[in-house]
Structure 1
Amino acid sequence: MIEVDLSQYKNALSRKNQALRLLWTIIWTIFARPLPRRVGNRWKIILLRLFGAQIHATAVVYSSVRIYMPWLLVMKEYSCLAPEVDCYNVAKITLGAHATVSQKTYLCTASHNMNKKDYPLITAPIIIKNQAWIGASAFIGMGVTIGQGGVVGATASVYKNVDPWTVVGGNPAKFIKKRVIND
């Protein structure tokens, strides 16, 4: 059996942070997850605000959403985190007004520096601007900004910024077309 010395690996997040995340996970699991779809949205917003989230009263957060650190979440008016979104926000995630993140999407603000022997944690925020839409089961990587009105197609993997009013898709996500709004 090979023994590995784990003493060289340190968690970059403080014990206080770890304790808060544990408390948050317990609170959300008991008081929000059991609620049916979209039921109790006002209650969920209260819970998120108690843990430091900046959420507009009209934002929608489904009960099955997983939020790693609510104190690093900003949601503007009529923004939405749909069912089973995984919001891994080790850095700040901001959703602009009328921005929608569809079901089973993974928002990932952290990774590890693969060029260092101890793989330290690295983070960068995700910004999803007003009127942007992230399709189902998409992956949005750290440091990415989705421009105003941008659309990320279902199952796309986005590692670079998306220009305003642009539709992207694929893995890695590539330009598909400009988004045009018809009345």
Structure 2
Amino acid sequence: MDVLDANRSKPLEGGASFSLGNRLFRVVWMAAWLVLCRFTPPPLHGWRRLVLRLFGADVAHGARVHASVRIWHPRNLSLGANTLIGPGAILYNQGHIRIGARAVVSQRAHVCASSHDVRSADFQLILRPITIGAGCWIAAEAFVGPGVTIGDGAVLAARGALFSDADPQTIYRGNPAEAVRSRQG
């Protein structure tokens, strides 16, 4: 993903964390989303799917992405069939984010697929992919941290913060999120 060596690029001193090509692509991407999608009415999900695909996202049929969603890099995004990404959600996908079919990422939720090496004096950027399984629900204003895998059908309650893997069909809440009960009973 064109991550530069922080020891050489010195991002803490104003240097870049990504290659010039990556940064130029993101400028074009952000401008395109702003002009082509940001102010489109809610029913135009098909149009937004098309724009995402044109910029390299893997978007299945029926996926719905609201106009106010922020996506850092479409090439690092996979959305399953009939997935919903709600208004104001942030997909900070420096690393890859894969969201399964029929999953919901609610309004203003934040999914973050990168972190920094705290042992590095230069805080080297580390990409840590996230997988959200089929039928999951990431509720309003929840946070999914780097490297997390969420099993099919799991739920992260509103404003919950998940930093470790989540079992399938399990409801989590709190910060840090803890399992509350099974979704089955």
**What TM-score range do you get, normalising by the shorter chain?**
over 0.9
1:71 partnered with 2:75: yes
Mark the runs of 5 or more structure 2 residues left unpaired by the alignment.
1-7
Once the two structures are aligned, what percentage of the paired residues are identical? Answer: 37
TM-score by length of 2: 0.91
Equivalent position to 2:24, from 2, 19, 24:
19
Per-residue Cα deviation, 1:49-86 (whole angstroms, up to 9, x for no partner) = 01100001210000000000000100011111110000
Pair 1:7–1:91, CA change in 2 (3 A): closer
Report deviation, 1:7: 6.5
- Deviation at residue 36 of structure 1 after TM alignment: 2.1
Quick check: 2:95–2:128 contact (8 Å CA) kept in 1? yes
- Determine whether 1:140 maps to 2:144: yes
**Distance (whole Å) between structure 2 residues aligned to residue 7 and residue 127 of structure 1:** 30
Q: Quick one: distance in 2 between partners of 1:7 and 1:134?
A: 35
Task: Indicate the RMSD between aligned Cα atoms, in angstroms.
Answer: 1.4
Structure 1 residue runs of 4+, over 6 Å off? none
- TM-score when scaled to structure 1? 0.92
Structure with max Cα Rg? 1
SS in 1 for 2:68: coil
1:89 matched residue in structure 2: 93
Structure 1 residues without counterparts, runs of 5 or longer: 1-5
Query: Residue 15 and residue 155 in structure 1: after superposition, are their counterparts in 2 closer, same or farther (change >3 A)?
Result: same
Deviation of 1:8 (Å): 3.3
Number of residues of Structure 1 aligned to a counterpart in Structure 2: 175
Once the two structures are superposed, what CA deviation does each residue of 1:108-156 show, in whole Å capped at 9, x if it has no partner?
A: 0111111111111011111000111111000000000110000000000
Secondary structure (helix, strand or coil) at the match of 1:43 reads helix
